[in-house]
Structure 1
Amino acid sequence: MRCYWDEEDVWFYFEVNAQGWVTRQIELQGPELTPIAAASLDEWQQAQDAGLLDEYDNRFGITAELPVSEWQGHDPEQLTSEEFEEVWDTARRQISARPA
């Protein structure tokens, strides 16, 4: 799904598991849709276990900390998995190409 936050001019894209937890999250800002986050919960947990959480957060961001069932004030658009994957691949490629 995706949601728009007009106060910050950010599109949020979410992949959610059956329990409602965000497993991957993308944030695109401004009219150019510049990727500012493309975080995976699995990668985040691996980085935490490896003691590399700060590096991961600084590069890719974090996923939402509450399940979607507890969110208020959002009006999500549903996406296909193919639509999400296309945005994910582009955002990850752009973020990974930036100097660390």
Structure 2
Amino acid sequence: MTRWFRSYWAEEDTWFYVEADADGWVTRQVELQGALEKPVAAASSTEWEAAQRAGTLADYEATFGATAEVPIHEWDPHAPLDLTAGEFETVWLTARATCQARARARSTHEA
């Protein structure tokens, strides 16, 4: 069963929004940082694995970041607050758009 939750890490001033599968592996992860909750990551484990196979992992991580590499029971999220699928999806879509826009702006400046 898929689980969605968010967890705040004060030491990083970051909200982690997590979608985890039945075994506790993170399938999608969003990181919102600071008082303005600026999206700094919106990664999918499936996409990350595909980028790794394709040799484009550095580009993927520069755009979207990465997901946790261990099951959630091994990293013990700080006071997780359950979310609905819809709540997670709203945050996911907004963060993805921000990450993609930032990547486009970065490539425009590099060109």
Q: TM-score, normalised by structure 1?
A: 0.95
Q: Answer whether contact 2:63 2:99 (CA < 8 A) is retained.
A: yes
Q: Are 1:61 and 2:65 an aligned pair?
A: yes
Gapped runs of 5+ residues in structure 2? 107-111
Per the alignment, residue 22 of structure 1 pairs with 26
Per the alignment, residue 78 of structure 2 pairs with 74
Shift of 1:72: 3.0
Count the aligned residue pairs: 100
Deviates more, 1:68-77 or 1:86-95: 68-77
* 1:44-77 Cα deviation digits (max 9, x unpaired): 0110111000111111110001101212362100
Once the two structures are aligned, what percentage of the paired residues are identical?
Answer: 56
Q: Answer whether contact 2:7 2:77 (CA < 8 A) is retained.
A: no
Gapped runs of 5+ residues in structure 1? none
Determine the C-alpha separation between the residues in 1 that align with 2:79 and 2:70. 16
* Structure in which a larger fraction of residues adopt helix: 2
* Structure 2 letter corresponding to 1:69: H
Q: Structure 1 residues 41, 73: CA separation in 2 closer, same or farther (over 3 Å shift)?
A: closer
Q: TM-score, normalised by structure 2?
A: 0.86
Determine the C-alpha separation between the residues in 1 that align with 2:66 and 2:10. 20
